[in-house]
Chains A and B, each alone.
Chain A
Amino acid sequence: ILNVEQSPQSLHVQEGDSTNFTCSFPSSNFYALHWYRWETAKSPEALFVMTLNGDEKKKGRISATLNTKEGYSYLYIKGSQPEDSATYLCVITPQGGSEKLVFGKGTKLTVNP
């Protein structure tokens, strides 16, 4: 069974703080890694899809890195804002490519004003 682990489970930061969270996955069963942002009562929204070892992607204040050899990805948020409050999901496409995504439990971020 492919297991995607995210840590921490939840996180409270102050507005302006920078923060990061981790996703780990089995490096032997990996094709692509996705990060999604999921606000309550809204659709999960894709932030990044990464496939290559050493990939780094950035969207505004949010960036992500990928290490496929050791099986982890970091998501960074610089200068957190209250509107960044959401659950951040790490999702894996298993090796060989598949439509069946495997989800982590998510990291719930709360940014206090």
Chain B
Amino acid sequence: SAVISQKPSRDICQRGTSLTIQCQVDSQVTMMFWYRQQPGQSLTLIATANQGSEATYESGFVIDKFPISRPNLTFSTLTVSNMSPEDSSIYLCSVLRVLNTEAFFGQGTRLTVV
């Protein structure tokens, strides 16, 4: 298993500002992922956070908007930059210990941009 501590749990931010979300895992993991759930939608993969190299972004997501850091095998951050109301979502980090087995998740960050 894996226990993930995600912070902050929620925030209300002004448009144009940036928010950094942190995830700390209780043990080393290779694969770490960031997801977004917009209201009424499915969780959608933003990017895969790679240790020692740049994150791999999914179609529709770019590094300038969602910069990711992965300084070691237990920690990652996602920044939501230059926020607009459309960025209001739940952001969730996730890890996989073994491919094709269950994933483990942080508690989520509920972001509201006003």
Contact = CB atoms under 8 A, between A and B. Distances in A.
Interface of A: 4, 31-32, 34, 41-44, 46, 49, 51, 89, 91, 93, 97-106
Given A4-B42, A101-B45, A34 B96 contact: no
Contact of B107 (A31, A34, A42, A91): A42
Interface of A is mostly: loop
B107 A41 contact: yes
12 contacts: A4-B42, A43-B108, A44-B92, A46-B102, A46-B104, A49-B101, A51-B100, A97-B99, A99-B31, A101-B45, A103-B35, A103-B43
Given A43-B4, A105-B40, 20 more contacts: A34-B102, A34-B103, A41-B9, A41-B108, A42-B107, A43-B107, A43-B108, A46-B102, A46-B103, A46-B104, A49-B101, A91-B103, A99-B33, A99-B99, A100-B48, A101-B45, A101-B103, A102-B42, A103-B44, A104-B42
Contacts of B66: none
Interface of B: 4, 9, 31, 33, 35, 40-45, 48, 92, 94, 96, 99-108
A43 B5 CA distance: 9
Contact of B42 (A41, A99, A103): A103
A102 B94 CA distance: 13
A93 B106 CA distance: 20
Contacts of B43: 89, 103
A34 B105 CA distance: 14
A99 B106 contact: no
